[in-house]
Structure 1
């Protein structure tokens, strides 16, 4: 089973590409193997998420895979920081496509015990593959040229599943999608991007980057007031809708799919607590931490 993923993407080239991107993002790109892949966020000075990406470190470039519509603002940000760096930032969103092959599918050429980033041959087409957890267990993201889509899709195992089906599965598993769940503008620790969260995207041992001081303070004090939970409720509601309890706002809900959503919620609400979204009753379900 596989699903098309609405995407945008950047390709960063030049002799300083790894150090340059590493100095902007929350995770440790320098420490990744080549080829390798690390999830990461790009923050503002208040430590809030501007973009979430998966950074692929390759021999000739750094490929940044982003949610739909996110490449252009990230490219503008990166170009502002180019001073003496030998780098070029290319928006390749129009040229590439991405599908996610669900866990358990037998994908030709993929090595389950191999690196997180691999190159495969599918239907005579070379594709970039990355190990990505979108539904609770790792599947494989495939990135390929749009003009070669027919050959790639014909080589995929199983049937196509719509994006709504994938959203329902990831919500049930407590996996956030930063853009689709309207979680930009929040702190990474609040929405599952910390080391014990379902989508770890931070290194506390790398060098400085925009927002790093806030991250260091949160690590030292451990005092983020919100965390990621799942809400169970009939819905629907729009991503970013306010969550209320006892007449006060206690968080924000994500995309409604499959009978609920992930949500950024104040930590004092216990498992099973009653709340509301747009006047509709919901139940809070705390997520287990992920080592």
Structure 2
């Protein structure tokens, strides 16, 4: 059963950082993949290696077009008889159409299914959700976590010691942990490397997959033209869209920001030119100094 209200904002952030915080991901939808060939087929249309996934575990991945631009990011969860692909809700129909194009003779069935996704994130999330139906390991903030996939007509388990958090708090902690968000920090106009998710989302050892040639070429070249980076700014909280200035020139834009708490500086994600990232010059945003995050 879901609690009626979230605690104060600072307590929500503390739960995500030190305990476990839960949020319904109503901006995510599920594509279910069934059939005898589901694992080998899906492994050929996403960037991560899905083969090592154990039951009750998920893998973060990107889904890219033939020419390498991103179509979505996703978590793929493995159950006894299916793979559940949690994707941005606004992209689900386009992804279903995309996937259907690449089923030839494989025994694969795709379906848009009605599960809701309750994510529980934080260092105590795994321990506090032990035994919850539909639970699958999914670390969304880099602090440990799970997704709980709740079928239609089913209730989520009682939260117990898990703290309900708001979308605002969850997004703020995403920025604080340098975890970029689909549709905010990156999207369909970006390559995987521009989104700075390559270490988490891409396997360069698994073999062929759709869009691999472009992804590998960009990696071998060593860089893309622009890339998301983490910045900080003390004493000021700029708005998303603010220009990043270096050596008197505009070198990027802020994509998301969270105000610092308890004396911390504001934390930002910004898309900047790679040449600037290489040099790491002094930065300015809204007329005030900004720093490269460590």
How would you bin the TM-score normalised by the shorter chain?
0.7 to 0.9
1:180 to 174, 184, 196: 184
Partner of 1:67: 88
2:43 and 2:126 mapped to 1: Cα distance? Answer: 33
The reply to whether residue 223 of structure 1 matches residue 223 of structure 2 is yes
Q: CA deviation at 1:174?
A: 1.1
> TM-score with structure 1 length normalisation?
0.78
Q: How does 1:133-282 map to 2 (within 5 A)?
A: 133-134=140-141, 136-149=142-155, 151-152=156-157, 154-195=158-199, 200-231=200-231, 232=233, 234-237=237-240, 243=244, 245=246, 248-258=249-259, 259-269=266-276, 270-271=279-280, 273-276=282-285, 280-281=286-287
1:203 and 1:80 mapped to 2: Cα distance? Answer: 23
8 Å CA contact 1:107, 1:157 repeated in 2:
no
2:281 and 2:147 mapped to 1: Cα distance? Answer: 34
* Gap change, CA 1:81 and 1:223, over 3 Å in 2: same
* Gap change, CA 1:284 and 1:66, over 3 Å in 2: farther
Which consecutive unaligned segments of at least 5 residues does structure 1 have? 111-119
1:275 and 1:183 mapped to 2: Cα distance? Answer: 25
2:56 and 2:93 mapped to 1: Cα distance? Answer: 25
Partner of 1:116: none
Greater displacement, 214-223 / 101-110? 101-110
Q: CA deviation at 1:155?
A: 3.0
Partner of 2:3: none
Partner of 1:128: 135
Q: CA deviation at 1:59?
A: 2.4
8 Å CA contact 2:77, 2:136 repeated in 1:
no
CA RMSD, aligned part only?
2.7
* Gap change, CA 1:281 and 1:127, over 3 Å in 2: farther
> TM-score with structure 2 length normalisation?
0.77
1:103 to 114, 123, 146: 123
Partner of 1:24: 45
Q: CA deviation at 1:74?
A: 1.1
8 Å CA contact 1:273, 1:284 repeated in 2:
yes
8 Å CA contact 1:35, 1:57 repeated in 2:
yes
8 Å CA contact 2:125, 2:144 repeated in 1:
no
Classify the secondary structure of the residue corresponding to 1:256.
strand
2:183 and 2:78 mapped to 1: Cα distance? Answer: 23
Classify the secondary structure of the residue corresponding to 1:164.
helix
Aligned residues: 262
Q: CA deviation at 1:3?
A: 2.3
Classify the secondary structure of the residue corresponding to 1:175.
coil
Q: CA deviation at 1:227?
A: 2.9
Classify the secondary structure of the residue corresponding to 1:148.
coil
